[in-house]
Amino acid sequence: MNCGSDKVIYMDNNATTRIAPEVVDAMMPFLTDCYGNPSSMHTFGGQVGKSVEKARIKIADLIGADPSEIVFTSCGTESDSTAILSALQTFPEQRHLVTTRVEHPAVKSLCDSLTQLTGHKHRTTRLMVDSDGMLDMNSYREALSEDTAIISIMWANNETGVIFPVEEMAAMAKERDILFHTDAVQAVGKIPINMKKNQIDFLSISGHKLHAPKGVGVLYVRKGTPFVPFLNGGHQEHGRRGGTENVASIIGLGRACELAAATMEEENTRVKALRDRLEQGLLASIPKSMLNGHPTERLPNTTNISFEFVEGEAILLHMNRYNICASSGSACTSGSLEPSHVMRAMGVPFTAAHGSIRFSLSVYNTEKEVDYVLEKMPAIIADLRAMSPFWKDEE
């Protein structure tokens, strides 16, 4: 199948990323000749097992962890569920969770379902954010209570890129002896992380957000943290996650982490410059456009911009005609026309929340692509506004 990826201007990297060619090369032997089971006693399988352990070391190195603290999972969602459910089983009498109003559905829906499934035995405090998408540390402190089993706060928001001070928050949790989980799916590979310098207990990673394949994730579990597996089965991952390892993808994730560690500093400066060029260009050339999210406390690759009085889905369809891929903050995917829960939590005005577009760049984007988008967007928005009754009232 030719999906036409050579023609696409891909600026939707917070949704998923291209697998790096180096990652594909590293994976190939494990999709062909090296098909042994890493748990087998024979040398053929044992060699695969050794390669899995080498990948574990590379992943640990990227986040300053010990390899024994890396547990392979199938995705970021599984890692999030594992961490939260583990804490709730460890402390069955503690029925309180602290999280935020802007978590990814991987955490948000789990918390919603817990309250329903357990007949309201669990209560969840969801911290508010301000108009920049930032948390208030006093509200956080006040939310922690005697019966809090776990705090789950994302490192970086997938829609706005806003970064939360999770290390400071984990230190406060430690003073109260409360477990701290962070969904770092959008942060790993984009900003430096060193688990030796913080007190976070659990951290979630997803392969497909950092140029590794879909279907592989990691849960970092700090040494000594009480842990209850989510999937029981064989003795894989030292009994912490049953199921034969997704070997090729694990090898791919190891290589992707190695690449990220080697190039992050330089590449992120370049990606940030491209992001800023795009952001400043759009805000300057399109009237009634505004940035959603803190101007500086943000991932280097993400910008979320609202174009007032137009619908996000309509903008995306028009962009699609020019092969430009991005995402909308209004929840077409959920089948409702409500703006996203993140935009609502930030109090973005209704007319702007509906027209929010997330551009998320990667190391594969170029200045030429940014300029192409800057050339096309003003006319797209102007055409849509010409059809909008709300815009006519505004004019």
Active-site residue list: 332
Q: Could you give the CA distance from residue 189 to residue 222 in angstroms, rounded to a whole number?
A: 19
- Out of 12, 69, 183, 279, the only residue in the binding site for ligand PLP (CB under 6 A) is 183
- Out of 82, 182, 186, 246, the only residue in the binding site for ligand PLP (CB under 6 A) is 186
Helices (H) and strands (E) in the chain, counts: 13, 13
Q: Could you give the CA distance from residue 184 to residue 188 in angstroms, rounded to a whole number?
A: 6
Pick the stretch among 29-37, 109-117, 180-188, 192-200 that binds ligand PLP (CB under 6 A): 180-188
Q: Does 12 bind ligand PLP (CB under 6 A)?
A: no
For ligand PLP, give the closer residue by CB, 186 or 388.
Answer: 186
For ligand PLP, give the closer residue by CB, 206 or 356.
Answer: 206
**Count of CB atoms within 10 A of residue 307's CB?**
26
DSSP for 329-366, please give it: SB-GGGTS-SBPHHHHHTT--HHHHTTEEEEE--TT--
Residue 373 phi/psi, 5-degree rounding, is: -65, -40
Return the beta strands (E) in 153-226 as ranges: 179-183, 202-206, 217-221
Q: Does 104 bind ligand PLP (CB under 6 A)?
A: yes
For ligand PLP, give the closer residue by CB, 148 or 158.
Answer: 158
Range 140-159, binding ligand PLP (CB under 6 A): 154, 158
Q: Could you give the CA distance from residue 207 to residue 253 in angstroms, rounded to a whole number?
A: 6
- Out of 9, 75, 212, 282, the only residue in the binding site for ligand PLP (CB under 6 A) is 75
CB 360 to ligand PLP: min, Å:
10
- Out of 20, 65, 106, 326, the only residue in the binding site for ligand PLP (CB under 6 A) is 106
Q: Could you give the CA distance from residue 33 to residue 26 in angstroms, rounded to a whole number?
A: 13
CB 40 to ligand PLP: min, Å:
28
Q: Does 188 bind ligand PLP (CB under 6 A)?
A: no
Q: Does 358 bind ligand PLP (CB under 6 A)?
A: no
CB 369 to ligand PLP: min, Å:
22
CB 73 to ligand PLP: min, Å:
9
For ligand PLP, give the closer residue by CB, 36 or 339.
Answer: 339
Positive or negative: CA dihedral 282, 287, 291, 295:
positive
Give me the half-sphere count of Cα atoms (radius 13 Å) on the Cβ side of residue 148.
Answer: 26
Instruction: Give kind and range of the element (H or E) at residue 70.
Output: strand 70-73
Q: Does 160 bind ligand PLP (CB under 6 A)?
A: no
CB 130 within 8 A of CB 294: no
Q: Does 51 bind ligand PLP (CB under 6 A)?
A: no
Write each residue from 216 to 245 as x if it is in contact with ligand PLP (CB under 6 A), else as -, in one continuous string. -x----------------------------
Q: Could you give the CA distance from residue 148 to residue 195 in angstroms, rounded to a whole number?
A: 23
Q: Could you give the CA distance from residue 260 to residue 258 in angstroms, rounded to a whole number?
A: 5
- Which residue sits closest to ligand PLP, CB atoms considered? 76
Positions that interact with ligand PLP (CB under 6 A): 75-77, 104, 106, 154, 158, 183, 185-186, 206, 217
